[in-house]
Amino acid sequence: MADEKKSLLPAEPPPSYEKAVPSPGAPGLAVRPGPPRMPLPLDLPALNMIKGKRVVLASASPRRRQLLAQIGLTQIEIVPSTFAEDLDKSLSAFEYVLQTATQKALNVYKREINNESKGEPALIIAADTVVVSQFGKILEKPRSEAEHIAMLKMLRDTGEHKVYTGVAVMAPLESAKDPGYSLETHVEDTTVKFDPNITDELLLAYVRTREGVDKAGGYGIQGIGSILVERIDGTFDNVVGLPLRATLQLIEKVLAQDDDEEEELNFDR
């Protein structure tokens, strides 16, 4: 048991709590507040494996990039997928986001695997988010102001709706084993309830901020759109566009497979 506890300790301890908290300064002296101290990056084997390597996000979403930065992936490369995202809407929301995220990852993998100038990526992360009405209609980004207003009114008037995000994480394998990469996927859903007392005036004012034009369902819960939401049941970051806990687990699974392949190759030699 003592050995197990020792194994959980980092090789180098982080700064003490006293050093981590800024000093209030000497009595009677005004202290100019500095920028907030950033937390230390997560010290995890999977994240350490990809330090300094190409980590590609198959999405132009700034929100997904910001979320990945929270777990230490700050040097991520943006290579948006060119997949048409035109799958049949008769698919279930689960299948729709799962297949779309997978196709996005494959699209970028095929384009970048033989990149002569940058080399192959160590990791590719793709995601797709949709909002699904209470009646099962898949809602993506609004295409006009009129559609945007109608979409938000429908979400307000029909009670709860769900947000589904599919995540696909890929890593090339060292071996030539078909298909040449490891792939792990996950779908997460969160239930969202708008405040039924939201006025049409507020909805119109929100639409005209244009915050929601590039977002599935037409609102951003991490921004002004939070004033529309009464409550959620599930993970907040999933509604933003990327469930972080699940994404980290996928990264660990994919890189573990790659590590296993490398051990097999070394054993065969």
Domain boundaries, the chain: 44-141+162-191+235-264
Tokens representing 145 are 């102001």
* Residue 99 near residue 185 (C-beta atoms within 8 A): no
Kindly state the helix (H) or strand (E) to which residue 131 belongs, with its residue range.
Answer: strand 123-132
Tokens representing 181 are 């990469």
- Between these two residues, 93 and 259, which has the higher pLDDT value? 93
**Tens digits of per-residue pLDDT, 32-56?**
666 777 778 889 999 999 999 999 9
Q: Does the pLDDT at position 159 exceed 90?
A: no
* Residue 241 near residue 163 (C-beta atoms within 8 A): no
Q: In the prediction, which pLDDT does 244 show? A: 97
Name, in order, each residue with C-beta under 8 angstroms of 191's C-beta and a sequence gap of 6 or more: 160, 161, 162, 232, 233, 234
Mean pLDDT across the stretch 85-94?
Answer: 88
- Between these two residues, 143 and 33, which has the higher pLDDT value? 143
Q: Does the pLDDT at position 267 exceed 50?
A: no
Kindly state the helix (H) or strand (E) to which residue 63 belongs, with its residue range.
Answer: helix 62-70
Distance between CA 159 and CA 137 in Å, rounded? 14
Partner residues linked to 187 by β-bridges: 166
For the chain, give the mean pLDDT.
87
The DSSP code for 49 is H
Catalytic residues: 128
Confirm or reject CATH 3.20.20.60 for domain 44-141+162-191+235-264, answering yes or no. Answer: no
Tokens representing 180 are 């040449």
Say what the pTM is.
Answer: 0.83
**Tens digits of per-residue pLDDT, 172-198?**
998 767 788 999 999 999 999 999 999
